[in-house]
Amino acid sequence: MGKGDFTFYAGKYTFIGDSFEFRNPITCQNSITASGNINAGGSLRAITSSNVWASSDTQNAHVWFYGAGGNESRGVIYAPKEGTIRLRPDNNDNGGANGYSFSFGADGRFTCISVNQTSDERVKFDKEPVSNALEKICSLTGYTFGIQLTESESVRSAGIIAQELEQVLPVAVSSGGTGTTPDGEEINDLKTVDYSAMSALYVEAIKELTERLKIIEKELADLRGATVF
């Protein structure tokens, strides 16, 4: 039939150039295989799922995103062989890899260099210092524990219990998501802890301890000054 393009219209096709141009919805019963690129001027929609496969056992599966700057404004989500999902902002204009990747592991761990949260005074209101911070911290217990990930998988970790923190600093605890108990029961209101919010407790507790220390130091100095030899 020769070299050229297929242009598909409601049941019709014509040869135009060197590529296929689709102008109406096309239903594929099986699969479409392409050794080159498939370009879409609009969007590509997958009703059930969309899969990206690595080309070989030594390669990663990639989904790239490009901004108006091309290689200078791009990012990638990829899956290495070890079973993690990584996200990497990448601004290397020579086409090579650049930037640090954030890693999501199958064990529920998120790995990155650092996490910065919004803390600008200009966006905050109704500010109230945490009261009795030392007492609240002393009511908590630090544990090492196992966390059930699925019915068959678990990991070891350390920290506090959300329900205990909720009693003294409820704003640091949220409910949402799902989990699995060690007995296999599904949880639909999984409690989570904002550990950075606990810094408010630490700061105020240290200040309370400092005030107590000042009082003790003054009393000790007074006792020494009153000592008669």
d(CA 14, CA 18): 12
The stretch 183-209 carries a mean pLDDT of 95
**Can you give the pLDDT at residue 59?**
85
Structure tokens at 62: 């990639």
**Can you give the pLDDT at residue 228?**
55
Which of 85-89, 109-113, 134-138, 145-149 is modeled with the greatest confidence?
A: 134-138
pLDDT range class, residue 82, cuts 50, 70, 90: confident
The stretch 57-80 carries a mean pLDDT of 83
Q: Give the angle 83-193-155 at the CA atoms, nearest 5°.
A: 35
pTM assigned to the model: 0.70
**How many C-beta atoms lie closer than 10 Å to residue 191's C-beta?**
16
